[in-house]
């Protein structure tokens, strides 16, 4: 009876606030009233769930135990999250005739399957060194829009899947998720150096060193913001150039350096190609599925006969004052010179303290395995305990499975200093904050296709840079609306989505022309 009475009073409170005028001395958009509205709604939702759990416990005490198959869990959300919210109210967008030309253009781009879905060969010579440097250190928008966050949180439940929840535009960082994956490759020197290892043990340790140094640059600034959710069919291309002279000393490794002649012997296999003084690492990513949201990405260094292929399904859940993102999927690194394949997974990511200063934390256990050599690595990303403990802590070990021998241990922070201890007793420290980052090379916007990330999201990005959240939201909404319309049309016509660069193989996605296929074809021709 008390719960029913409280719910009635809370509904009356919400109705009274929403009936206030939108302008004047006391309005429905008043910050204090919005705070009251959000906190009262969150309190009632929490009390309702607690009451439900108490009822189950009471029933179990009467019967002696819970019925078979009964689970105690948080209830599903009572309130729809279908719309964006601006200061606690559903946004009203202007009529089509009043929309900027860029928005109408975003909505009128032809159905992707009607565009050319043939893979496009990107010429790295057309790409220019990236000058974009959007560090996400600005708290202004988050501070100003806290009432919107409260309103959103008041409608979420613990464990709720956020895949289909439309989040406010001001919490977005100025790049697509596909570009974020590319930024994990910002140390191409360490990537290329993996295949320079002279023994299987050395190559596995080098891969672990590269893997652990890749996450720091993947984050832009100290503030946790969310990259754009890629549109299905969206692609991102870039490359890196690494001077061969920078690799001859192998400064990033604990092991002895190799001579320049040893490092470039493979380049002689590439007939008809002029000898260059740099290696090129090429990268391509594509959003291959919308529900569930799956991205595929592929990177290769043809001269060094090495490539990596991965597919990732991002699953987001609401965890109270945090948001958790699970990276479901697998990556495969191929070192064709050695005939080795390394499988690896990715840690979970958490956006913490979303009502104050949001920050990113990684957590979970990942494994790296090479079946051919019998070497494996186990890496633990530790989340901070409730009391005490360090932030961003990581520990791991590299082991030879046949002998159960640990050949390397690592500890430290994935965004600060890492300590590697080797079986020969030597120790190496890597300070990620002082490591040089190789800027990626990207084609200018005017040379990009309509579904390449930067061109596709350019109006959203420009509006965010200008601090115009309303305009950014309008452009973002136009893209999402177009995607929904295209998805509806495909469902009605029973037309399957056709990807451009990645092919479905089993439960994963593989690049259509991976290096292991092209190298095998060249070797076959040479034998003939």
DSSP state letter for 96: G
Tens of pLDDT, residues 219-234: 655 666 788 989 999 9
Using the Cα atoms of residue 308, residue 208, residue 377 and residue 373 in order, give the sign of their dihedral.
positive
Distance between first and last Cα of the chain:
86
Task: Spell out the residues 6+ positions from residue 350 whose beta carbon is closer than 8 angstroms to its own.
Answer: 319, 322, 323, 324, 325, 360, 361, 362, 363, 383
Task: Spell out the residues 6+ positions from residue 66 whose beta carbon is closer than 8 angstroms to its own.
Answer: 56, 59, 60, 72
Provide Rg for the chain, Cα atoms: 26
Helix (H) or strand (E) holding 314: strand 306-318
User: Where residue 195 sits, what CATH number does that domain have?
Assistant: 2.40.160.120
Residue 396 resides in a domain:
yes
Q: Report d(CA 399, CA 378) in Å as an integer.
A: 8
Residue 182 resides in a domain:
yes
**Cβ(295)–Cβ(227) under 8 Å?**
no
Q: Do the bridges between strand 359-370 and strand 508-511 make them parallel or antiparallel, or are there none, so unpaired?
A: unpaired
Helix (H) or strand (E) holding 419: strand 417-422
Helix (H) or strand (E) holding 205: helix 200-213
DSSP state letter for 386: S
**Cβ(30)–Cβ(21) under 8 Å?**
no
At residue 15, the 3 state secondary structure works out as: helix
Residue 241 resides in a domain:
yes
Structural domains counted in the chain: 1
Residue 136 resides in a domain:
yes
Residue 475 resides in a domain:
no
Q: Do the bridges between strand 359-370 and strand 375-382 make them parallel or antiparallel, or are there none, so unpaired?
A: antiparallel
**Cβ(57)–Cβ(66) under 8 Å?**
no
Burial of 44 (0-12, 13-18, 19+ CB in 10 A): buried
**Cβ(338)–Cβ(323) under 8 Å?**
no
Residue 6 resides in a domain:
no
**Cβ(176)–Cβ(161) under 8 Å?**
no
User: Tell me, what's the pLDDT at 296?
Assistant: 96
- Phi, psi of 516, rounded to the nearest 5 degrees: -65, -25
Residue 37 resides in a domain:
no
DSSP state letter for 78: S
Q: HEC string of 39-53?
A: HHHHHHHHHHHHHHH
The strand pairing partners of 312, in sequence order, are: 295, 329
Instruction: Identify the segments of the chain with pLDDT beneath 70.
Output: 59-117, 134-170, 218-224, 248-275, 355-356, 520-528
Give the number of other Cβ atoms within 10 Å of residue 524's Cβ.
9
Closest listed residue to residue 326, CA positions, set 293, 359, 357: 293
Residue 27 resides in a domain:
no
C-alpha separations of 228 from 170, 242, 264, 456 in Å: 11, 29, 39, 11
**Cβ(339)–Cβ(333) under 8 Å?**
no
| Ramachandran class of 465: left when φ > 0, alpha when ψ lies in -120 to 50, beta otherwise | alpha
What range does the domain containing 306 cover? 128-246+277-433+498-526
Cα of 226 vs its chain's centroid, Å = 8
Say if residue 392 is preceded by a cis peptide, omega within 30 of 0: no
Q: Report d(CA 61, CA 71) in Å as an integer.
A: 15
Instruction: Give me 177's structure tokens.
Output: 């998720």
């Amino acid at each position: 009876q008390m719960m029913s009475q409280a719910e009635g009073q809370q509904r009356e409170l919400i109705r009274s606030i929403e009936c206030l005028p939108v302008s004047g001395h006391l309005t429905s958009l008043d910050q204090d009233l919005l705070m009251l509205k959000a906190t009262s709604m969150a309190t009632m939702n929490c009390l309702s769930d607690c009451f439900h759990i108490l009822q189950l416990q009471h029933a179990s005490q009467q019967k002696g135990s819970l019925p078979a198959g009964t689970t105690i869990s948080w209830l599903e959300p009572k309130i729809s999250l279908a719309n964006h919210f601006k200061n606690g109210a559903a946004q009203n967008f202007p009529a089509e005739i009043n929309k900027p030309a860029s928005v109408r253009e975003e909505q009128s781009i032809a159905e992707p399957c009607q565009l050319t879905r043939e893979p496009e060969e990107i010429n790295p010579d057309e790409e220019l060194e990236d000058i974009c440097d959007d560090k996400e250190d600005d708290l202004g928008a988050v501070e100003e829009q806290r009432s919107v966050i409260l309103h959103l949180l008041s409608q979420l439940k613990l464990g709720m899947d956020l895949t289909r929840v439309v989040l406010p535009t001001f919490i977005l960082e100025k790049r697509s998720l596909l570009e974020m994956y590319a930024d994990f490759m910002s140390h191409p020197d360490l990537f290329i150096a993996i295949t320079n290892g002279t023994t299987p043990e050395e190559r596995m340790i080098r891969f672990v060193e590269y893997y652990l140094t890749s996450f720091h640059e993947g984050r832009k600034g100290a503030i946790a913001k969310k990259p754009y959710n890629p549109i299905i069919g969206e692609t991102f291309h870039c490359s890196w150039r690494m001077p061969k002279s920078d690799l001859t000393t192998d400064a990033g490794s604990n092991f002895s350096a190799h001579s320049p002649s040893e490092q470039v012997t493979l380049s002689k296999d590439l007939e008809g190609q002029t000898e260059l003084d740099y290696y090129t690492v090429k990268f391509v990513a594509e959003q291959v599925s919308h529900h569930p949201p799956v991205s595929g990405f592929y990177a290769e260094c043809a001269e060094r006969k090495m490539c990596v292929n991965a597919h990732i399904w991002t699953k987001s859940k609401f965890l109270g004052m945090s948001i958790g993102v699970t990276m479901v999927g697998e990556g495969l690194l191929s070192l064709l010179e050695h005939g080795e394949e390394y499988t690896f997974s990715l840690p979970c990511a958490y956006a913490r303290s979303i009502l104050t200063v949001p920050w990113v934390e990684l957590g979970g256990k990942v494994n790296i395995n090479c079946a051919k050599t019998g070497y494996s690595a186990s890496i633990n990303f530790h989340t901070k305990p409730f009391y005490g403990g360090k932030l961003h802590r990581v520990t791991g070990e590299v082991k030879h499975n046949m002998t159960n021998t640990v050949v390397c241990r690592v500890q430290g922070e994935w965004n600060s200093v890492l300590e590697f201890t080797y079986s020969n007793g030597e120790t190496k420290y890597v300070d990620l904050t002082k490591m040089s980052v190789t800027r990626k090379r990207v084609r200018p916007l005017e040379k990009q296709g309509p579904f390449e990330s930067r061109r596709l999201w350019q109006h959203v990005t420009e509006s965010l840079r200008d601090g115009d959240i309303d305009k950014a939201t309008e452009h973002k909404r136009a893209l999402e609306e177009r995607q929904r319309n295209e998805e509806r049309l495909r469902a009605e016509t029973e037309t399957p989505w056709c990807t451009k660069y990645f092919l479905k193989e089993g439960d994963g996605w593989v690049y259509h022309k991976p290096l292991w296929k092209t190298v095998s074809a060249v070797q076959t021709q040479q034998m003939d």
